[in-house]
Each structure stands twice: as structure tokens, then as C-alpha cells.
């Protein structure tokens, strides 16, 4: 399947690989100090552009990456979620980041469930993780809602080795049992 053809729909959301028209929403996310705090920090628009290109690049090179998450009713870009596996990473990650306007409405839970199902169905992963900063309580709550537990703490690989994270996660079997 070609990445451009991948579309996941939930009750309220559309998930698909990132497109150029998603950049304004992404730039808004990275311009917000609080929203970007745990995803590498805020960045001006030019820096956001360079980081934005990571996900389409991951789709092209690896065949997967984070999905853009859009409101099905309005087409508004809300955030991103999905599989992510940089070199040296602590595991096969399912990550997420959402604009502040999307917080507290259940979008991250709804979208990430669909992304996990897709990753397990299409990538052959037997387990997945979420790398979460110790003081990122909102993401820890989301990980718990998804059924993940904190497996260990460790530093991220270079050049992020100064960042200690909780490596949350679960097995495919655990995920499937909870979804049944």
C-alpha cells in the first residue's frame, strides 16, 4: 500500500500521512512553548519546517510514521500520532503530540488507539513503547488509558542523551486482549 493511500477513520477523526497543508497546524504546535515542551521544545516557523519533514520522510523511507490527525467534520489539523522509530530509540514507539486547542477532548486517546491498531496490523510489532518525560503527567495518563505501564526509565540516545524518560509500553497480546 502506498502511504498516500492510507486513511484511518474513527468516529470523529481522520488519520493519514502528513501533507503540506498540515504544516500551518504543525508550526502552531511548535510555536506553543507548553504544547511543544515534551517533544523537543518550541521552534520558530523555519525550525518547525525542518522538523515537520521528519514524518513524511519516515513514511517514504521506513514505510510508516506518525499520522496527521484531522477533525473529520472541519478538516482542522489537531495533531499527530502513530509509529515512530528513530535510530537507537528505546523501542518501537507509538507517540503523539497535539495542538493545545485539541487538549482535553479525547482526541489523543481516540486517534492513538487507531494508530496502535494500524501499527500492530501492518508492521508486525510484538510490542510498542511510549517515551514520556517524568513530569509529563498528561501523557502518562494517556498511556495508562491505553493500557500501558512504565517498564523502565532510561536516557534517550544521542543527541538527546540528557533527556531521561519513562519507557511505557505493552505487548501486542496485552493490547489485543484489552481491545477484545
At 13, which CATH number?
Answer: 3.40.630.30
Q: 170: Cβ–Cβ under 8 A, 6 or more apart, which residues?
A: 127, 128, 146, 147, 148, 149
- Is residue 1 very low, low, confident or very high in pLDDT (cuts 50, 70, 90)? low
pLDDT at 32 (0 to 100): 97
Q: CA 15, CA 32: separation in Å to the nearest integer?
A: 22
Record the cell numbers describing residue 71, joined without a space: 477533525
Range of the domain at 112: 3-179
Residue-wise pLDDT tens digits, 16-57: 999 999 999 999 999 999 999 999 999 999 999 999 999 999
Residue-wise pLDDT tens digits, 113-148: 999 999 999 999 999 999 999 999 999 999 999 999
Q: Which of 84, 71, 106, 101 is nearest to 156 (CA)?
A: 84
Record the cell numbers describing residue 13, joined without a space: 477523526
User: Are the C-beta atoms of residues 127 and 170 closer than 8 Å to each other?
Assistant: yes
pTM of the model as a whole: 0.95
Q: Which of 147, 139, 145 is nearest to 176 (CA)?
A: 147
- The total of structural domains in the chain comes to 1
Amino acid at each position: 500500500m502506498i502511504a498516500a493511500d492510507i486513511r484511518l477513520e474513527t468516529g470523529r477523526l481522520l488519520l493519514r500521512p502528513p501533507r503540506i497543508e498540515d504544516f500551518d497546524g504543525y508550526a502552531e504546535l511548535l510555536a506553543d512553548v507548553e504544547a511543544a515542551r515534551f517533544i523537543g521544545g518550541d521552534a520558530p516557523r523555519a525550525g518547525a519546517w525542518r522538523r515537520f519533514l521528519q514524518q513524511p520522510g519516515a513514511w517514504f523511507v521506513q514505510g510508516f510514521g506518525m499520522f496527521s490527525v484531522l477533525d473529520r467534520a472541519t478538516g482542522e489539523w489537531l495533531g499527530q500520532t502513530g509509529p515512530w522509530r528513530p535510530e537507537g530509540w528505546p523501542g518501537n514507539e507509538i507517540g503523539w503530540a497535539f495542538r493545545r486547542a485539541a487538549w482535553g477532548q479525547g482526541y489523543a486517546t481516540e486517534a492513538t488507539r487507531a494508530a496502535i491498531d494500524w501499527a500492530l496490523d501492518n508492521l508486525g510489532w510484538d510490542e510498542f513503547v511510549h517515551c514520556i518525560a517524568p513530569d509529563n503527567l498528561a501523557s502518562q495518563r494517556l498511556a495508562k488509558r491505553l493500557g500501558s505501564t512504565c517498564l523502565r526509565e532510561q536516557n534517550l540516545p544521542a543527541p538527546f542523551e540528557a533527556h531521561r524518560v519513562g519507557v511505557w509500553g505493552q505487548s501486542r497480546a496485552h493490547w489485543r486482549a484489552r481491545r477484545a
